[in-house]
Amino acid sequence: MLIVMKASATPEMVVQICREIERMGLNAHPIQGTRTTTIEVTGNGFPVDPDGILSQPGVKEIIHITQPYKLVSREFSSSNTVVKINDVSIGAPEIVVMAGPCSVESREQCMTIAKLVAKSGAKVFRGGAFKPRTSPYSFQGLGEEGLKILAEVRERFGLIIVTEAMDTETMDMVAEYTDIIQIGSRNMQNFSLLRKAGRKKNPVLLKRGMSATLEEFLMAAEYIMAEGNHNIILCERGVRTFANHTRNTLDLSLVPAVKQISHLPIIVDPSHGTGVRDEILPMSRAAVAAGADGLLVEVHHDPVSALSDGGQSILPDMFEQMMQEVRAIAGVLGRSCA
């Protein structure tokens, strides 16, 4: 059960409600949002008398939610969440394409790619400054130098920036330079990182863990929302299976499943989701046809020399073709794509 407080409710009113809940042998978890406070009630005590609570000062409404996810659920918000950054809206009818290299490798590399993807219609530029790598001896990203390059891309091309924050230590720095903070698959259940992201003002792009169920994925988003940050973009990026014709198995069925039980926008990453260049275009079309709100795609002008993930990056002219195809599919669904 969630007790939603009025925007005008004072801290004292919240404390008062919590006390009352606890007197009934239940637990009250106040969730401080940016504008309102919500009190999550858990436990097995006396049944709560809704009328009694509703009559208290500061209480706006009571929401009964039976699923484990509360704030991320459709029951909490019947209208779709639209994440807005400048003039870009994710979760709106327009499909938003995020493109760029796997890693920020150099100023020149980023400017070259950014120019090309912006021309083709990408609205968001992606690129890793901090890279989670299986081996400690692999290239780990340029760090702050990479973040500065990303900031320059924003300046020059007017692109929104998304980049990964790998740990709580560097998240403050990442948050300063980037627009959207990405939480990677390996960190989907790094709860301290989720909590910290929940206290940031930046929207968060949360990638599904490699073997996360739908419920675990939504509960990870719940961690972020419970801290007050409601601007979350979910991202399907393939899961681990026995199948070996792709690096991961892209689970597009997650898109309609999320749409049904959550109000959050969801995008698809066909690059990590398949790991195979020739799969990117067909799976991008399929993702949009399935109802995805956007795409996250690796583009590199010189994949052979890429420091990471070259084999799954598409070339700029493939990206241009992808945009055309995605635009056409979007149109059929009554959506658009720049």
Residues 230-289 touching a second copy, rule: CB under 8 A, are 239-246, 249-257, 260, 273-274, 276, 278-279, 282-283, 285-289
CB 125 within 8 Å of CB 100:
yes
Q: Which is nearer to a second copy, 47 or 136 (CB)?
A: 136
Applying the rule CB under 8 A, the residues between 34 and 53 that interact with a second copy are: 40, 42
Q: Among 20, 144, 152, 216, indicate the residue that binds a second copy (CB under 8 A).
A: 216
Tokens of 267: 């995008």
Applying the rule CB under 8 A, the residues between 185 and 204 that interact with a second copy are: 186-187, 189-193
220-to-47, 91, 187, 204, 214 alpha-carbon distances in Å: 28, 19, 10, 12, 10
Q: Among 34, 47, 79, 137, indicate the residue that binds a second copy (CB under 8 A).
A: 137
Asked if 24 interacts with a second copy (CB under 8 A), we say: no
Nearest to 230 by CA among 257, 256, 193, 202: 202
Asked if 133 interacts with a second copy (CB under 8 A), we say: yes
Q: Which x/- pattern, by CB under 8 A, does the window 87-126 give for a second copy?
A: ----------------------------------------
User: Taking the CA of residue 324 as centre, how many other CA atoms within 13 Å lie in the half-sphere pointing to its CB?
Assistant: 6
The C-alpha atoms of residue 92 and residue 317 are separated, in whole angstroms, by 27
Q: Which is nearer to a second copy, 55 or 260 (CB)?
A: 260
CB 28 within 8 Å of CB 21:
yes
H/E element, 14: helix 11-23
**C-beta of 23: minimal distance to a second copy in Å?**
19
Q: Which is nearer to a second copy, 111 or 318 (CB)?
A: 318
**C-beta of 211: minimal distance to a second copy in Å?**
4
CB-based contacts of 75, cutoff 8 Å, min separation 6: 63, 64, 65, 67
The C-alpha atoms of residue 249 and residue 231 are separated, in whole angstroms, by 27
- Number of residues this chain uses to bind a second copy (CB under 8 A): 71
Q: Which is nearer to a second copy, 70 or 301 (CB)?
A: 70
Q: Among 1, 214, 315, 318, indicate the residue that binds a second copy (CB under 8 A).
A: 214
Applying the rule CB under 8 A, the residues between 66 and 85 that interact with a second copy are: 68, 70
Asked if 328 interacts with a second copy (CB under 8 A), we say: yes
Q: Which x/- pattern, by CB under 8 A, does the window 286-305 give for a second copy?
A: xxxxxx--------------
154-to-51, 160, 180, 184, 291 alpha-carbon distances in Å: 51, 6, 12, 22, 28
CB 198 within 8 Å of CB 171:
no
CB-based contacts of 40, cutoff 8 Å, min separation 6: 1, 2, 28, 29, 30, 31, 70, 226
Asked if 174 interacts with a second copy (CB under 8 A), we say: no
